[in-house]
Structure 1
Amino acid sequence: MSDDEAARERRRRWRMVLGGPAEESLGKAEGRDGAMDSALSALYDQGGDGDSERSSRRSAGLGGSAPKVARWLGDIREYFPSTVVQVMQQDAIERLDLTRLLLEPEMLSAVEPDVHLVGTLLSLNRVMPDQTKDAARQVVRTVVEQLEKRIEQKTRAAVTGALNRAARINRPRHADIDWNRTIQANLKHYQAEHRTVIPERLIGYGRRTSAVQRDVVLCVDQSGSMAASVVFSGVFAAVLASMKSLRTSLVVFDTAVVDLTEQLEDPVEVLFGTQLGGGTDINRAIAYSQQLITRPRDSIFVLISDLYEGGVRDQMLRRVAEMTAAGVQVVVLLALSDEGAPAYDHENAAALAALGVPAFACTPDAFPDLMAAAIERRDLKAFAERFATERAL
């Protein structure tokens, strides 16, 4: 690329960033650039009508017109990659108050399905007209299927491997010997003259069994700020429930508690069984979850919440202490999503850490490894610190 071409490209990029106010100095956006500029203008600038005619200044012109919004949604899908489209859709919902328009089937057919859109639809579930619900379910099902493809294989592999490792026995059959662990445990019996290790103790994997090896209780905060976490939690719960070696329960809560375990065969039904918004009573949710735990040392309790407690804080902490003392592996996640660090109650997080239960945010891609660590009863504080370090790199 020549110097003149490079200079023109820089001007073009700056023009797209600055919009209409830069037209006098950087020139008018033409062709495809002009169409992209108009789509950005309709969302991010103020004033004007933002219609198909190119204006010299960007303008937030989507208004409340369903046809105009549908046309705009089609434009951004044509001009921008899907990851950018999802961000712009979420911004449009928040900045231009398009929530009402999402109750129209025509609008739902025009949007790009993603986790944030599903969260918005779930928050509208109770006010959604009947003629819209079928379209909304199709949007949710599309996202659920995408998430299942993303997480199912890794989750099954991580959990199955952890269960096998956790079932080690000391008198294994030859095919079940874990040679790496056996050699490590018998290095002191190394015979120099034979240049080999003579194992006095064999370590092996237990034989596979169809019996339930772990009970998992997912307890999920469904307050409005937890929308993405609710979506991912519902899909993970359905995947875990499909594994015969686990007995999985799903409990969602705000100020009330709802047990969705019976619906885990269909994650779409699980998500439509949630009700985003409302207050938070973590203590009540933990109290209900305690009733589901009948084998403490073989149980994993996963609380997914920003820890803003509207219930009785002291009782909440006491219940967590009771579970850990009984042998339950307790995991507290401040969020289960692809977003960055969430807002959360730092005081409650510190109190849980003092009980030996670290609270941290986890991405969906790391959740299978977290479950494997919990099954093997590894140090979750070390896991959280390593995960935070890896994300920072």
Structure 2
Amino acid sequence: MTDVRDAPKVSEAERLRRWRLVLGGGDADGTGGELSGDDVRIDAAMAAVYDHDQVRSTGRGAGRSGGLGRSAPRVARWLGDIRTYFPKPVVQVMQRDAIERLDLRQLLLEPELLESIEPDIHLVTLLVELNHLLPDETRATARQVIARVLADLEDRLTDRTRSAVRGALARANRSRRPRPGDIDWLRTVHVNLRHYQPRLGTVIPERLIGFGRRQRSLAKEVVIAVDQSGSMADSVVYASLFGAVLAQLPSLQTRLVAFDTSITDLTPVLHDPVDVLFGVQLGGGTDIAEALGYCRQLITRPNDTVLVLISDLFEGGNAELMRARVARLVRSGVTVLCLLALSDEGAPVHDRQAAADLVELGATVMSCTPDQFPAVLSDALEGD
């Protein structure tokens, strides 16, 4: 740990400057400092968002000048300023705060403004939410913005997902009664070491392990059912991306279903995750039982199927029927994996009693980040 005494010393003038930027109060801030040069524009950029609540509640400013109003040119200039003076992660936070605090959603319907925003997953979820309001010219720009974010996520997650799934399928498909030429002697010896015969100086294998043989038929089925209520927005984005990645693997049959109180089967558009996202409608109620009933109709080989239910489990429909359908799926041999969230935000608010009930029924219930998902799915595919 670095000793604070070893930290570089800051001059009194620089210390007052930093406090002045934090407080933003002019004479009222107590620093007595004046801003000049780029600091004036930095201060105005922060004031446009973070002084808004005080101005609204007191009717007077806090000493800063700024404000975005509902002017697209003014917002565009502000976007340029924050990209000039702040690093990318800070820019994304300030954009998100501006949209939420100043209610600028209507301005996002303008393609020129949308092009100038630094895209991130939160902007993607907002565009998906506004999908039905987007005019045609903005929709084309929105697709490009979403595609950029998904491409970055794909670079981060695709190779890891493919590798984890292929490894799991290879392990799951190893033959327990291999032909002589297909015996994996290293693994066979390892699992039979307890049968070593000192008198003979050898291992007498009780069980033979074979190399996985390449199968022409599909090895596993994956059905992803994602809750598209508003609280699951990030999960919908990641589920769409992973669904598209898994659909490219020839050894898997992948289906993606989005649901609220109705059901949308997005499997036909899995080749393009942008199309998938434009096919969902965030918000609305939740009927998990109905979604499970639909998914059950899709399953042809229960023992070779993983059902990934992504939901906070707040059931707006028949909770008893939801539990009954999970129990029936588990009894039939389906591996039921319930993810309370598939996002970077950590464990969400969820129905704890419903989660405990599903665990008792034999489902696996957990929260999961996108980076963890390949390993989690791998374990589910491999089974016992």
Please indicate, yes or no, whether the TM-score normalized by the shorter chain is above 0.5: yes
Secondary structure at the residue paired with 2:30?
helix
- Equivalent position of 1:238 in the other structure: 244
Indicate if the aligned counterparts of 2:125 and 2:234 stay in contact, CA closer than 8 A: yes
Partner residue in 2 for 1:266: 272
Matched, 1:141 2:147: yes
Partner of 1:250: 256
User: Which residue in 1 is equivalent to 2:3?
Assistant: none
SS in 2 for 1:300: strand
Tell me the amino acid that sits aligned with residue 5 of structure 1. Answer: V
| Separation in structure 2 between the aligned mates of residue 266 and residue 134 of structure 1, nearest angstrom | 15
Question: Of residues 62, 72, 89 in structure 1, which corresponds to 2:68?
Answer: 62
From 11, 20, 23, the equivalent of 1:18 is 23
The equivalent of 2:362 in structure 1 is 356
Pair 1:330 & 2:336 matched: yes
The answer for the alignment partner of 2:379 in structure 1 is 373
CA change 1:198–1:142 in 2 (3 A) is same
Residue 347 of structure 1 is aligned with which of 343, 353, 374? 353
Identify the residue that residue 120 of structure 2 maps to in structure 1.
114
Could you tell which deviates more after superposition, 316-325 or 182-191? Answer: 182-191
Q: CA deviation at 1:87?
A: 1.7
Letter in 2 for 1:71: R
Q: Is residue 159 of structure 1 aligned with residue 165 of structure 2? A: yes
In 1, distance between residues paired with 2:22 and 2:188? 61
Q: Output the CA distance in 2 between the equivalents of 1:59 and 1:116.
A: 28
1:99 aligns with 2:100: no
Pairing 1:165-180 to 2, within 5 Å after superposition = 165-172=171-178, 177-178=183-184
Q: Equivalent residue of 1:113, what SS?
A: coil
CA contact (8 A) 2:44 2:66 kept: no
C-alpha separation in 1, matches of 2:47 and 2:367: 35
The structure-2 alpha-carbon separation of the partners of 1:18 and 1:357, relative to structure 1 and needing over 3 Å to count, comes to: farther
Moved more, 168-177 or 234-243: 168-177
1:199 and 1:32 mapped to 2: Cα distance? 76
1:373 maps to a residue whose letter is: D
1:328 Cα offset (Å): 0.2
Letter in 1 for 2:108: L
Cα deviation, 1:308-367, whole Å, max 9, x if unaligned, reads: 111111001100000001110001111111112212122211221221224221111110
In the alignment, is the contact (CA less than 8 A) between 2:266 and 2:276 conserved in 1? yes
Conservation of the 8 A alpha-carbon contact between 2:338 and 2:364: yes
Is this contact kept in 2: 1:215–1:300, CA < 8 A? yes
Q: Confirm or deny: 8 A CA contact 1:48 1:60 kept in the other structure.
A: no
Task: State the distance in 2 between where 1:26 and 1:195 align.
Answer: 88
Instruction: Identify the residue that residue 279 of structure 1 maps to in structure 2.
Output: 285
Does the Cα contact within 8 Å between 1:44 and 1:59 map onto a contact in 2?
A: no
**1:48 touches 1:58 (CA, 8 Å); kept in 2?**
no
Q: Could you tell me which amino acid in structure 2 is paired with residue 86 of structure 1?
A: Q
Equivalent residues of 1:43, 1:59 under 8 A apart: no
Alignment partner, residue 290 of structure 1: 296
The separation in 1 between residues aligned to 2:17 and 2:236, in whole angstroms, is 41
Root mean square deviation, CA, Å: 2.5
TM-superposed deviation, 1:369? 0.5
Q: CA 1:146–1:23 in 2, change beyond 3 Å: closer, same or farther?
A: same
**1:211-236 CA deviation, whole Å, 9 max, x = no partner?**
20111100011111111111110010
The residue matched to 1:301 in structure 2 has which SS? strand
1:223 to 229, 232, 235: 229
Residue 47 of structure 2 is aligned to residue 41 of structure 1: yes
Report what 1:5 is aligned to.
10
Q: Match of 1:25, SS?
A: coil
SS at match of 1:84: helix
Rounded Cα–Cα distance in structure 1 between residues aligned with 2:380 and 2:8: 57
Further displaced range: 252-261 or 338-347: 338-347
Match of 1:82 among 88, 92, 110: 88
TM-score by length of 1: 0.87
SS in 1 for 2:223: strand
1:128 maps to what in 2? 134
1:31-86 CA-partner distances (Å, limit 9, x unpaired): 4444333222211113569xxxxx97235611111111111112112222222222
Distance 1:149 1:174, change over 3 A: farther
Cα contact 2:45–2:66 (8 A) shared by 1: no
Q: What is the identity percentage for the equivalent residue pairs of Structure 1 and Structure 2? A: 56
CA contact (8 A) 1:211 1:244 kept: no
Tell me, yes or no, if the aligned pair for 1:216 and 1:246 is still in contact at 8 Å.
yes
Asked if structure 1 preserves the Cα contact closer than 8 Å seen for 2:83 and 2:91, the reply is: yes
Distance 1:109 1:260, change over 3 A: same
- Cα distance in 2 for partners of 1:97, 1:60 equals 16
Which residue of the partner structure matches residue 52 of structure 1?
A: none
User: Which 5+ residue runs of structure 1 have no aligned equivalent?
Assistant: 50-54, 379-393
Deviates more, 1:13-22 or 1:239-248: 13-22
Rounded to whole Å, the distance in 2 between the matches of 1:339 and 1:132 is: 29
Q: Do the aligned residues in 2 keep the contact of 1:252 with 1:259 (CA within 8 Å)?
A: yes
**Larger deviation, residues 137-146 vs 11-20:** 11-20
